[in-house]
Amino acid sequence: MFGKFRQYVRAHKIISIVVVLALAGGGYYWYRSATATTTVTKYVVEDAAEGSVVVSVSGTGQVQAGTTIDVTPKVSEEVTSVAVKVGDKVSAGQLLVQLDSTNEQRTVNSAKLSLQSAQLALAQLQQVTTSTLLSDQNAVRQDTTSLATASTTLIQDYGNGFDGLGSVFVNLQTVMAGLQDFVMGNDISKTQNDPDAYVGLMPDYLQAGVTPYKNEVQASYAAADAAYEKSLADYHAASRSSDQQSLDALFSETGNTANTVGAAVKSSKDFITYIVNSYPASSSTKPLPTITTTLQNNFNTYTNTMTSVASTVQGTITGIVSDRNSIVNAQASLAQAQENLSELTAGPTDTQLLSAQINLQSAENSLTTAQQDLGYTSVRAPITGTVSAIGATVGQTAGSSAVTIVSDSEVAVVTLNEEDASKVLVGDPATLTFDAITDLSLAGKVVEVDPVGTVSAGVVSYNVQVGFSQPANTTSSLLVKPGMSVTADIVTESAQNVIAVANAAIVTQGSSTYILVPSVQLSTSSLQASAGTGIELTDAPKRVAVTTGLSNDTLTEVTSGINVGDQIIVKTVKSTGASKTTTTSTKTTSVTSLLTGGSRGGGGTPPSGGGGMP
């Protein structure tokens, strides 16, 4: 059989080659189909939600005490007892060390005796001389006359001040009439008021510069007109006999009105000056209207008038204030004179009284000093804090540092690199954690950032001080000790109540940024099913362009493109696996039969187009 096969192959080489290639290709196809893998893409879908995006920087360092104070006794005595030990919490005023008070108590007793002697000597002085009595009586009379004169002058100045308002309002009326003629007048154009007409005269390229001046003219005139009408009405409603409080208000109001009108005059004057200085002087432009010079002269006159008006009103106000001060001074002088007279009538001469008073005061001062020194023998804490060292020893004279106290106002000093330090500002909130206290987290706030960095091995760093937000002596703050290692997470930026999505949901390609969303809205059950390993989508997701804002290591703020509640794809999960192999039952055909066209059981007819065996 194999001999015939070889003979057939030699006789039909081309057919044999074709059959072999077909067999090889079929085998390769069967192998690829049996071993091929497929890729399945699943998506984790969530609803876009509102949240917060917080950006922070982190630094490490140590806790430092805010203040360290060495308590030094103010008197030098032997220590009799020490009331505290290292590590004790003490409050301001608490007893720390007790010194021997024997000497100080003796001094206090002696000072008390001296004070009693001074008081007795003063009590014995009772003689009064006639000349001193007459002098004090004369002082009372003179001060009484001065007070009456000052009161009369005040009344006269109120009357004169009201009379002077007549000329003030005449001048104000003149100035306001002139301003009205300019602001509301039509001397330059019949269709425009003068300021607008002046703007229209300017070349187009200069009108933008002059318009603010015109606006200020109109605004200041409106303010001046309102103030003038109000002040004039109040002036007509008042009289010389009005009470002083009403006249004070009228004078003050008139002074303010004068200033307001003066400001309106200045605005108009500045406007005309700007027009004159800016108007182009060339043969192609017409000269400014001749009334311009008149307006300049008028505004100069109005300026002088308003200066005089303001001076008149201010002079009235100043004079009244001076009169009141004179009355106050006269009253004080009279009261003192009356007191002196009473004291003189009641007791000693001035010389004797002065000497006795000096002795008494000296005795009182000596007693006060002695009592203070006695109090200093009880050395007390000047601040609230923790005892860090004790230098006092019982039986020995207290030295310069009896007790050292560290205040409770601790700070965390951490180091940041120059990039992070540039983002930190005083007042930024922070969270403090401690290596030695694993479960403790305290709130803090940046209180200081070093203005100058420290360079080490070419690296620039900055020290940042973070103050503790918790009050001292709370349960949590008491756990923290100076020198402990601390980590500070400082919030430099934050966006609250914004759409915050996972960074993985944001896709950036070139200059475009987008988020993938399901093409078809998912049901609630499908949305829940995707939360684990994801779900397959029947339709390819679509892109939605978005604008992003603040971002950190995990979240990104989306400022536009999606809304709260929109379904977005936050994760894409791709998995691979062997493809399913389909097995079918086929008839087995021998190579010989393929070549000869027959079956395994007998000879057959050769393939069409082939020759027979040679």
Closest C-alpha among 348, 345, 344, 370 to residue 357:
348
- At 191-249, the pLDDT tens digits run 788 898 899 888 888 889 999 999 999 999 999 999 999 999 999 999 999 999 999 99
- What is the token pair recorded at 387? 């005892």
Q: How many domains does the chain have?
A: 3
State the residue for tokens 């390993």.
533
Residue 181 token pair: 């003629």
- Tokens 């200059």, residue located: 511
Question: Is 252 a domain residue?
Answer: yes
Q: Cite the beta strand spans of 343-396 per DSSP E.
A: 378-380, 385-390
Helix locations, 185-243, DSSP H: 194-201, 204-237
Q: Looking at 326, 350, 379, which one is the last position of a domain?
A: 326
Q: Are residues 61 and 165 in the same domain?
A: no
Mean pLDDT of the 544-566 span: 91
Task: Examine the domain organization and report whether 61 and 6 are in the same domain.
Answer: no
One domain, residues 225 and 286: yes
Does one domain contain both 518 and 503?
yes
Is there a single domain that holds both residue 311 and residue 205?
A: yes
**d(C-alpha 346, C-alpha 340), whole Å:** 10
According to DSSP, residue 422 is labeled T
Structure tokens that stand for 394 in this block: 């019982």
Q: Which of 281, 297, 326 is the last residue of a domain?
A: 326
Q: What's the CA gap between 165 and 167, in Å, rounded?
A: 5
User: pLDDT grade, residue 22 (50/70/90)?
Assistant: low
Same-domain check for residues 188 and 300: yes
Helices (H), 279-290: none
Q: Assign residue 232 the CATH number of its domain.
A: 1.20.140
Q: Is residue 313 part of a domain?
A: yes
Place of tokens 């001040």: 161
**Residues 589 and 517 grouped into a single domain:** no
Question: Do 499 and 590 have their domain in common?
Answer: no
Any domain includes 119: no
Distance CA 289, CA 292 (A): 6
CA distances from 285 to 163, 210, 276, 277 (A): 52, 17, 13, 14
pLDDT > 50? residue 613: no
Residue 585 pLDDT greater than 50, yes or no: no
* Segment among 296-300, 407-411, 541-545 with least mean pLDDT: 407-411
> Cβ neighbours of residue 268 under 8 Å, at least 6 residues apart?
179, 182, 183, 217, 220, 221, 295, 299
Lowest mean pLDDT segment, chosen from 143-152, 464-473, 522-531: 464-473
The residue ranking higher by pLDDT, 499 or 339, is 499
- Please give the helix or strand (H or E) that residue 467 lies within, else none: strand 459-468
- 56 in the same domain as 10: no
Q: Evaluate if residue 298 carries a pLDDT over 90.
A: yes
**pLDDT score of 129:** 61
Range of the domain at 503: 42-66+409-577
In a domain, 367, yes or no: no
For 478-493, the pLDDT digits (tens) are 678 788 899 999 999 9
Domain boundary among 276, 310, 326: 326
Rounded-to-integer distance, Cα 611 and Cα 614, Å: 8
- Using CA atoms, how far apart are residues 557 and 498, in angstroms rounded to an integer? 7
CB contact set of 167 (below 8 Å; sequence gap of 6+): 312
- Judge whether 237 lies within some domain: yes
Per-residue confidence (pLDDT) for residue 582, from 0 to 100 = 38
| Residues forming a β-bridge with 569 | 45
Domain assignment present for residue 589? The answer is yes
Q: Does one domain contain both 160 and 224?
A: yes
- Evaluate if residue 596 carries a pLDDT over 60: no
For residue 472, pLDDT beyond 60 = no
Mean predicted confidence (pLDDT) in 341-365:
80
pLDDT recorded at residue 3 = 54
CA atoms within 13 A on the CB side of 5: 10
Residue 310 lies in a domain: yes
Amino acid making up residue 426: V
Residue 133 lies in a domain: no
- The encoded tokens of residue 378 equal 């009880």
Inter-residue contact 537 to 518 (CB < 8 Å): yes
> Which two three-digit tokens encode residue 171?
């001048």
pLDDT at 600: 40
| Residue 190 confidence (pLDDT) | 81
pLDDT for 421 beyond 80: yes
Give the best-scoring range by mean pLDDT among 267-276, 340-349, 427-436: 267-276
Domain harbouring 451, CATH code: 2.40.30.170
DSSP H or E segment with residue 337: helix 291-346
pLDDT for residue 288? 87
Report the Cα–Cα distance between both ends of the chain, in Å, rounded: 16
Query: Is residue 588 located within the same domain as residue 539?
Result: no
Give me the residue label for tokens 């940041």.
Answer: 416
Q: Rounded to the nearest 10 degrees, what angle do helices 244-278 and 291-346 cross at?
A: 150
Q: Do 28 and 48 fall within a single domain? A: no
